[in-house]
A and B are shown apart, each in its own frame.
Chain A
Amino acid sequence: MNDELARLQQFLSGRIWPAGKLPFDESVIAKAKERQLIDDVQAIEFLKGKPSCRRCRCASFDTYIRYYCAKCDKICVYCRNCIQMGRLASCDTLVRWIGATATTDVKPKLQWQGQFTAAQARVSQELIDSVRAKRSHLVHAVCGAGKTEILFAAIEIALSMNWRVCVATPRTDVVLELAPRFQQVFPDVTVQALYGGAPLATSYSPFIVATTHQLFRFEDAFDIIFVDEADAFPYTFDVALQQAVVKARKQDGVTMLVTATPSINMQAQFQKTGAYSFIPRRFHGADLPVPRFASLWFYDKQLQMNRLPKKIARWIKNCEDKGQPYLLFFPTIALMKQAAHLFSVPAVYAEDAERKEKVLALRNGEVAGLLTTTILERGITIPRVQVAVIGAESAIFTASALIQISGRVGRAQHEPTGDIVFFHHGVTREMDAAKREILRLNAEVN
C-alpha cells in the first residue's frame, strides 16, 4: 500500500464518513475504491419501508423529513437527529474502510504513581479481570469517587493486547477534562479527543475519548468502550449513547459502564456474572458534603427589584475572603440574566458561546466565581469550589439534580470538604430526598 492509501487507512479504519467530505484527494479515494479497500453505503436506508440513518440509527419517525430534492428531482429523506454533523439525505452515501484495519505496535506504559484506596484497588482489579475475560462490566460509583484512575490499569491491558479503546461520555466538557489526563498517564500513545468543533486528526489512534455524537462517526471500530456517565443527568442510561455504543463497538467488543445510578435490572444482570463493582465513597475516603438549608424568602422579588439578598452577599464575601472559587446556581436563565448586574462575576448558560472559556477562567482563578444554570451540574471538577443554590425549591432542582450539584463540592484530595448551601423559599420533598440520599451514601460501609 502506498503512503497516501496508508494515510487513508489510518483515518478511515472504523469510521463511517460522508462521501465527498473526506479530508483526502479524490484520486486517493478513487484508487482505494478500485482496490476494494473502501465501499459506499446509502446514508439513509429503508428497512421494511422505514427510514433509518446509517450514521445515528435514530429510531424516531419524526427525525426523518421528506422533501422535494432538486438534485434528484424526486422526494428524498434527510435525518434531523445528527444534522449538526452535516446533513445526510437518502441520496447521500457514506464511505467505509473494508480493507485490513490500521494498527499500531506501541506497547503503552502506564505512567501513574497515585495511591488507591482499598475500594479503588479492588474495583481496579475487578475491571482487569473482566478485560482479561473479555466480558462487559458495570461499575457503580458515586460522584467524585475517583473513577477515572480506576480505569487506568484496565486500559493499559486492553491497549497492550492491541485492542482499540474508546472512552465515551455524553458531554464535551467531560471529554475536555478527561483526554489530557489520559494523555498524561499514557505518554506513548496519542489520545484523540473527539467532540463537536475539535480539530480533525487524520492519524490512527488506538485510544479515543469522544462524545456520544462523535461516536456516531464510527462503526464496528472498538474492542472495548468505557462509558462514563457517572456524572450524567438525568439518572437514566441515555438511549442515544446506548445506540452509539452498540454501533461503534465491534461485534465481539465489550462495554465497561461507569454510572452513579444503574437500574435495578442492570445491577442484577451484571451481579449474576460477577462483572459488577461498587464504590460507595469518594476516593479520598471523606464523606460527601451534606447540603445545608438556608431560608431566603422572596429571593426572586428581591433580585427583580435589584437588591442582592444579604445572605447571598455574606456567603460570597466569605468565599472571596478565603480565596475559594464559588458557583451560584439559578433556577432559570431569565432570573440569572436579570440579576447578573448585581454580581461581580460572569454568568454562564447552556447556549453561551464562551462557556468553555468562562469555566476555564474559574478553574484558573481568573474570576472569583460563576453564576450558572443547571448546565454546570455535571462532570465539572473545580478544586476547592463552594456551591450555593438559589431557589432550591424550584421544580428544576429535582433530588437527582441537587445530588449532582452537591457532588461538585469537595472533590480535591487535599481539601475534601466545602460548603453546599440550598437557599430556598420553602423546603421541598426533593431537597429532603437529596439530603437523605447523600447521608445514606455516607453511611454505606465500604
Chain B
Amino acid sequence: MRCLLCDRVVEKIETWTGLFSRRQKWTTCASCMAKFERVSEQAYEGIRTIYVYNEAMRDWLHRLKFSQDAIIAHVFADEIKKLCSHYKKAVIVPIPMHPAKKRARTFAHMDVLLEAAGVRYTHLLEKTTTDTQSQKSRVERENSATLFTRNAIQLRKDTHLVLVDDIVTTGTTIRHAHEVLKRDGFTHIEVLVFISARK
C-alpha cells in the first residue's frame, strides 16, 4: 500500500485486529502524519479547533480544495470519525459551499471530509454569495451582509447542532452561520473547526 500524501510504499504491520477487520484501503505514512501539528491552546472563543495551520496542513488543504484530489480527505478519516462521535445524538451541520462554486470544484471538500469519515451530516444552511472571505478586508468581512440563509429542512429547536468547518481565520463565517441558526430558534449549538489559523 502507498501513502496517500507522499506515495511511498507503507509497510502494513499485521495485527490480530487487522486480520479480522476489513482491509483498510487508504493509508498515510507516519512521517507524513508527524508533520501535522495539533492545537495546544484554543485560540477562538466558543470554537473547538484541532490542528494548526502549518506548512503540511496548508499543503494538504490546497491539494484537497484546489488540486481537487478528493481522496486525500481520507488522511483524517479516522480522526474526524472519532471527533464527531463525541457529540452523541447531535446533528452535524457543515458550512455549505455556494452551489456554483461546488459545481466548479466538482465537490464540496467539507462534505467529502465527513463522507470519508463515514459521518452523517445535514445541511441546514445555504451560501448566498460566491465571494470568499479571504478576498475581503477585515472591515468588509465584519460588515458583510448575511452570508447564509436557512434552508427548508425542519428540526426540533432543541436539537443539539454541531456546526463544522475546515478552517477558521477571523471567525466571521462561523459567527454568521451561528447567528442564522440562533435566529431560527436553535438553542444548543456547538462549533467544531478542523484547522485553526491562529497559532
Contacts and interface: CB of A to CB of B under 8 A. Distances in A.
Contact of B107 (A67, A80, A83, A84): A67
Contact of B112 (A67, A83, A87, A91): A67
A62 interface: yes
B107 A62 contact: no
B2 A87 contact: no
B106 A76 contact: yes
B102 A70 contact: yes
Contacts of A89: 106
A21 interface: no
Contacts of A375: none
B106 A83 contact: no
B103 A70 contact: yes
A70 B70 contact: no
Interface in A60-114: 62, 65, 67-71, 76, 78, 80, 83-84, 87, 89, 91
A70 B69 contact: no
Interface in B58-79: 67-71
Given A83-B67, A87-B68, A71 B2 contact: no
A71 B107 CA distance: 8
Contacts of B112: 67
A70 B108 contact: yes
Given A67-B112, A70-B108, A87 B103 contact: no
Interface in B90-126: 102-108, 112
A80 B105 contact: no
Given A67-B112, A69-B107, A83 B69 contact: yes
Contacts of B2: 62
Contact of B70 (A62, A67, A84): A67
A65 B71 contact: yes
A83 B66 CA distance: 11
A70 B68 contact: no
Contact of A78 (B68, B103, B104): B68
Interface string B37-75: 000000000000000000000000000000111110000
B105 A87 contact: no
A87 B69 contact: yes
Contacts of A78: 68, 70
Contacts of B102: 70
A87 B67 contact: yes
Of B102, B103, B104, the most chain A CB neighbours within 10 A belong to: B103
B107 A70 contact: yes
Interface string A36-80: 000000000000000000000000001001011111000010101
Of B67, B69, B106, B108, the most chain A CB neighbours within 10 A belong to: B106
A70 B100 CA distance: 10
Of A67, A76, A83, A84, the most chain B CB neighbours within 10 A belong to: A67
Interface in B1-60: 2
Contacts of A84: 67
A226 B103 CA distance: 42
A117 to B, nearest CB: 41
A71 B103 contact: yes
Nearest to B6: A351
Contacts of B106: 67, 69-71, 76, 89, 91
B62 to A, nearest CB: 12
B82 to A, nearest CB: 23
Contacts of B69: 65, 80, 83, 87
Nearest to B101: A70
Contacts of A69: 106-107
Nearest to B69: A83
A83 B72 CA distance: 13
A83 to B, nearest CB: 6
Contacts of B104: 71
Contact of A65 (B67, B70, B103): B70
Interface string B81-93: 0000000000000
Nearest to B1: A62
A406 B9 CA distance: 28
Interface string A115-136: 0000000000000000000000
A23 to B, nearest CB: 20
Contacts of A80: 69, 71
B71 to A, nearest CB: 5
A280 B111 CA distance: 59
Nearest to B104: A71
Given A62-B2, A65-B70, A76-B106, 19 more contacts: A65-B69, A67-B70, A67-B71, A67-B106, A67-B107, A69-B107, A70-B102, A70-B105, A70-B106, A70-B107, A71-B104, A71-B106, A78-B68, A80-B69, A83-B67, A84-B67, A87-B67, A87-B68, A87-B69
Interface of A: 62, 65, 67-71, 76, 78, 80, 83-84, 87, 89, 91
11 contacts: A65-B69, A69-B106, A70-B103, A70-B105, A71-B104, A71-B106, A78-B68, A80-B71, A83-B69, A84-B67, A87-B68
| 5 A-B pairs with least C-beta separation | A67-B70, A70-B102, A65-B71, A87-B68, A71-B103
